[in-house]
A and B are shown apart, each in its own frame.
Chain A
Amino acid sequence: MSLRLAARIARAELKGGLQGFRVFLACLAFGIAAIAAVGIVREGIARGLGEQGTVLLGGDAEMSFTYRLASDDERRFMADHAVKVSEIVDFRSMAVTGTGDTAERALTQVKAVDDAYPLTGTVTLDPAMPLAEAFAPDAAGRPGGVMDGVLADRLGLRTGDAFRLGEKSFYLAAILTREPDSATGGFGLGPRSIVRNADLEGSGLLAPGSLFDSHYRLSLPAGTDLEALESAARAAFTDTGLRWRDSRRAAPGVERFVERIGAFLVLVGLAGLAVGGIGISAAVRAYLERKTAVIATLKSLGAGRWLVFQVYLLQIGALTLLGIALGLVLGTALVLGAAPLLVSRLPFPIALAPYPGPMAEAALYGVLTALVFTLWPLSRAARIRAAALYRQASGSVRGWPGAGAAIAVAVLATALVGAAAALSGMTLLTLWSAAGIVTALTVLAATAWALRRLARRLAPRARGVPLRLALGAIGGPREEAGAVILSLGLGLTVLAAMGQIDANLRAAIARDLPERAPSYFFVDIQDDQLPAFLNRLAAEPAVDNVETAPMLRGVITRINGQEARTVAGEHWVLRGDRGVTYADRPPASTTITAGTWWPEAYSGPPQLSFAREEAEELGLKLGDRLTVNILGRDIEAEITSFREVDFSTAGIGFVMLMNPAAVAGAPHSHIATVHTAPEAEARLLRDVAGAFPNITAIRVRDAIARVTEALNAIAAATAGAALVTLATGFVVLIGAAAAGEPARVYEAAVLKTLGATRARILASFALRSALLGASAGLVAVVAGGAAGWAVMHFVMDAPYSFEPASALLIVAGGVVAVLLAGLVFALRPLGARARRGFCAPRTDLPTRPRHAQSRGAWRRTG
């Protein structure tokens, strides 16, 4: 009965219109739209990867090896199980055009394929032609090759022009526009080229010890049990360095990346919802304040607290559902509208549709957020007494909630954070983010309180009428200061934190690193080339430092005889293969932190020196035995020392360093880092590459540019999400400004009556907005700086320095945003005639029901 009656009253109340709920709906809808959009894109990518796993992988399954081709046994295994096998060799090299001083060189990631490639999907070329046709030799007998348009442009190549890989000449048959299996390739430093494997004969590339990966794509009979086949392969080739992937998870790297960035963006979206929550709370409070007389009347007629609570909970519930529906429609429309762009820009397939999963997740966040931010005023409203018909003191929606409501809010907030932690899969980050949001809100609320007190104190002493009026208004009884600082402050805090983190990361990469970083990495230097290579560098006066090291690659398979990942988890050192080097003596500037180095010319059981920090993370100690698979052969070595390895210098840094006798017999090449003056870089490259065509040069600045590019994409996505937070904050701001308009009309009327010009009144309004905006901006910069420091210090393990440019922008942005919102709502007060201003309801007076005000019901009659 109670619920039915509550529903009837609620329905009647809602018929009164949605006035005052636009901000509520906008805040909720914006937050939901952002979260739903991110969720749909994430799901779309996951489904795209899942549905097109075979195409992405270039086969039903893939067996990969580092540094070597498959052995006869492995080939036999593949032939036994697959209908068709395709062999691909992937390596870095230099693509060269011209000769002598006019030669142009560029780093490229070469894919050397066989005739079976691609087993699935199609390579798209411009001009359109089959790949086999592109590989066909030209009239001069040169084999064809295809390359990314970026690489062709860099080398100034057009189709038909010649280029060299190593010592072999090719002609550019076509531009590569789409590579079906590109998403599985990982992060490449150079643009892609594809040639036929057989055509590399005589190139001098892929010599023993060269750095390359071999991939064998398998086309399997329909109905093959992939899990069983994987188990069989792993059982047959234990500890050979075999890596297995299949269409069940074709691109785990992309999946992982998308999952993480998606979860991160959802967290930013939740920050947006928190900002929206402030608007929601303010809108609900304003609405309930207008309903004080109705609530008191209901009470006078015999309605209890529970009924009143139900009446308004049902109304807010209905509006919440509307807001969520609007948000879901908006979010879905945004994604589907941007679908053509996303599909064409992303290097992996994406299947976009209004997926119920992410939409339900966004709706859940919306419901919980709305409840967290409305239960408080709702519980207060239910406590309004019938006597409120006579006096304000008999209840208000402002103030502390009852114990029950406070507990309910705490439980719902915990549920919200718990849901975010569970659904994002990033528990720690979610908890930190939630703690950050709560801390930021607390700091902002305290700031608003302090600002109001300060303004009250300073107002009488302020010079000039506009400033005194502005300070008086900030310190006055209206809640504009609180709403502005909380909503805009939180939005700006998120943006400030992003700005600080982004700037510090860029500074670390672009400014700090190159000061110590070498100009070039040279890889694939063969043993017999090393003396000549070093002689040539020694003859170049601009070269001031050269370091070389033998380079092998190995996978840590066991720790003390047990499977490595079981012992030490998913640490990056255990993921895939890592560089391994050897040395008789500790390399220059090596710091041994524990243990002892092996004696010179040591030839006993293999010994290993491990990077200290990574060893600590893996839980390794001196005396532990690591099994490292190098070129399919297991080498078990004892850890006899730990040493400092600084990866941030971009110099040669190996996690694992062995005694020479342990690995020197394995075919390997050398790498070198070369420091030279920037103006000598081009000459050096020309000299070395001309003399040693098989050696690949990686320009560190280019590599950094590639990393920065990736960072740019992440920063853009994050900034987009942060902007949604800011947009929500702006909506709250508009709401606060709109709510304050009647009071401004009244104030302007009084001032005009007293002889104030419009310019003076405008100056007062502008000053008020500027002061509020600057305060919100300043708090945001401090809070964002603290968050930035925490992320750099605890997550990135990098030094933090305050970045003033973005901070200044944030403060200026805060001022401009509040000025804009404030001045838009200053137009009516400025334009209204003084007489009319007195008719406007004064919202700075104790709030009373509007109809009661006009009829004078609150006049004390007794």
Chain B
Amino acid sequence: MTDPVLSLEAARLTLAGNAGPVEILRGITMSVGRGETVGLIGPSGSGKSSLLMLMGGLEQATGGRVMALGEDLGAMNEDRLARFRRDNMGIVFQSFHLIPTMSALDNVALPLELAGVADARARATAERGRGSGSPHRPLPRTALGGEQQRVALARAAAPRPAILLADEPTGNLDAANGAQIMDLLFGLRDRYGSTLVLVTHAPELTRRCDRVIRLADGRLADDPVQTEAAQ
């Protein structure tokens, strides 16, 4: 493996629930190399999305360590984490999470503007164009799922991040749109040489990953078949 872009050492995530603490992740140790594409799979409730959240600094580990690009995410406060994501990460969600009151172009330009990029809107126009071929579309809330996810992809890729994290990006889409989105996602990874970590249930996606990691009950499942299958 090349030098790790993401590495987790015995990372744990325990959250408070109504009936007491719930262990979501129970000591995950793994790493992801530069330019690698990793698929996270597992049954519902196994901790895939939570693991992705730890990697993206959206959630902080309650035990162990999470490193990204050599920096300890656990040592950062909320604002430092935000800046770190702004400069190094692009995240795509299953439910798109566009800002509904902003136009598609404004959504794409937003991370660039947050980073203080001078020609944010021009770059966003270019990025948006690559994503769908039409930079000036109606507001995202009026758009269909596929269109929204294309905008979300363009937004995630606009700052040309070193790390792309995608949480079931096709989960809310039909097969045709899902395929288009995946082509776009992998195209972006190829174009910018980003490291891609992907949560998915879709076998056709796992086949496009360099490596697939299976989770079960908050732990890495010891199942080499998946990794081989991916290769």
Contacts and interface: CB of A to CB of B under 8 A. Distances in A.
Contacts of A306: 79
Nearest to A382: B78
A300 B199 contact: no
Contacts of B102: 9, 12
Contacts of B91: 300-301
Give the residue among B16, B95, B116, B141 with the most A Cβ atoms within 10 A.
B95
Contact of A860 (B16, B42, B44, B114): B44
A338 interface: no
Interface string A246-274: 00000000000000000000000000000
Interface residues of B, number: 53
A1 interface: yes
Contacts of B85: 300-302, 386
Interface stretch (B2-10, B46-54, B183-191): B46-54
A8 B124 CA distance: 16
Interface in B20-49: 24, 42, 44-49
A385 to B, nearest CB: 6
A13 B116 contact: no
Contacts of B115: 302
Q: By DSSP majority rule, is chain B's interface helix, strand, loop, or mixed?
A: mixed
B178 to A, nearest CB: 15
Nearest to B120: A5
B86 interface: yes
Contacts of B48: 861-862
Contact of A302 (B51, B87, B94, B167): B87
Given A303-B114, A387-B59, A855-B172, A862 B50 contact: yes
Nearest to A854: B95
Contacts of B155: 301
Nearest to A301: B111
A449 to B, nearest CB: 21
A12 B106 CA distance: 9
Contacts of B106: 8, 12
A862 B24 CA distance: 8
A861 B82 CA distance: 23
A302 B111 contact: yes
Interface in A1-57: 1, 5, 8-9, 12-16
A294 interface: yes
Interface stretch (A321-329, A390-398, A568-576, A741-749): A390-398
The A interface is mostly helix, strand or loop, or mixed, namely helix
A298 interface: yes
Which range contains the number of A residues in contact with the other chain? 35 or more
Given A9-B102, A857-B93, A301 B199 contact: no
Interface string B197-209: 0010000000000
A383 interface: yes
A9 B107 CA distance: 10
B97 A389 contact: yes
B159 to A, nearest CB: 8
A293 B93 CA distance: 12
Contact of A390 (B44, B59, B84, B171): B59
A12 B52 contact: no
B210 interface: no
Contact of A5 (B58, B78, B84, B114): B114
B224 interface: no
Given A300-B91, A389-B97, A393-B15, A862 B52 contact: yes
A826 interface: no
A26 to B, nearest CB: 23
A16 B101 CA distance: 6
A532 to B, nearest CB: 92
A299 B101 contact: no
Contacts of B86: 301-303
Interface in A825-856: 851-852, 855-856
B168 interface: yes
B114 A389 contact: no
B58 A298 contact: no
Interface in A467-506: none
Contacts of A8: 106, 113
A75 B172 CA distance: 100
B66 to A, nearest CB: 13
A12 B78 contact: no
Given A304-B83, A387-B58, A857-B97, A862 B47 contact: yes
B99 A856 contact: no
B95 A862 contact: no
B96 to A, nearest CB: 8
A12 B101 contact: yes
A861 B44 contact: yes
Contact of A856 (B46, B51, B56, B95): B95
A297 interface: yes
Given A297-B97, A861-B44, A390 B49 contact: yes
Nearest to B110: A301
Given A299-B82, A303-B82, A857-B94, A851 B59 contact: no
Contacts of A234: none
Contact of B114 (A307, A390, A394): A307
B114 A302 contact: yes
A383 to B, nearest CB: 7
Interface string A299-320: 1111111110000000000000
Nearest to B116: A1
Contacts of B110: 9, 298, 301
Nearest to A383: B78
A685 B59 CA distance: 92
Nearest to B15: A393
Interface in A179-216: none
A156 B62 CA distance: 94
B70 interface: no
Most buried by A among B48, B86, B99: B99
Contacts of A12: 99, 101-103, 106
Contacts of A389: 58, 93, 97
A774 B168 CA distance: 52
A364 to B, nearest CB: 31
Interface string A105-144: 0000000000000000000000000000000000000000
Nearest to B113: A5
Contacts of B167: 861
B100 interface: yes
A302 B172 CA distance: 25
A118 B96 CA distance: 83
Contacts of A394: 59
A17 to B, nearest CB: 9
Contacts of B50: 390, 862
Given A300-B85, A862-B42, A862-B199, 4 more contacts: A852-B95, A852-B97, A861-B48, A862-B46
14 contacts: A9-B102, A294-B99, A297-B99, A302-B111, A304-B78, A304-B83, A305-B79, A386-B82, A387-B58, A391-B15, A857-B94, A860-B45, A860-B49, A862-B199
Name the 6 nearest CB pairs between A and B, nearest first.
Answer: A302-B86, A862-B49, A857-B95, A16-B101, A862-B48, A304-B79
Interface of A: 1, 5, 8-9, 12-16, 293-294, 296-307, 383, 385-387, 389-391, 393-394, 851-852, 855-857, 860-862
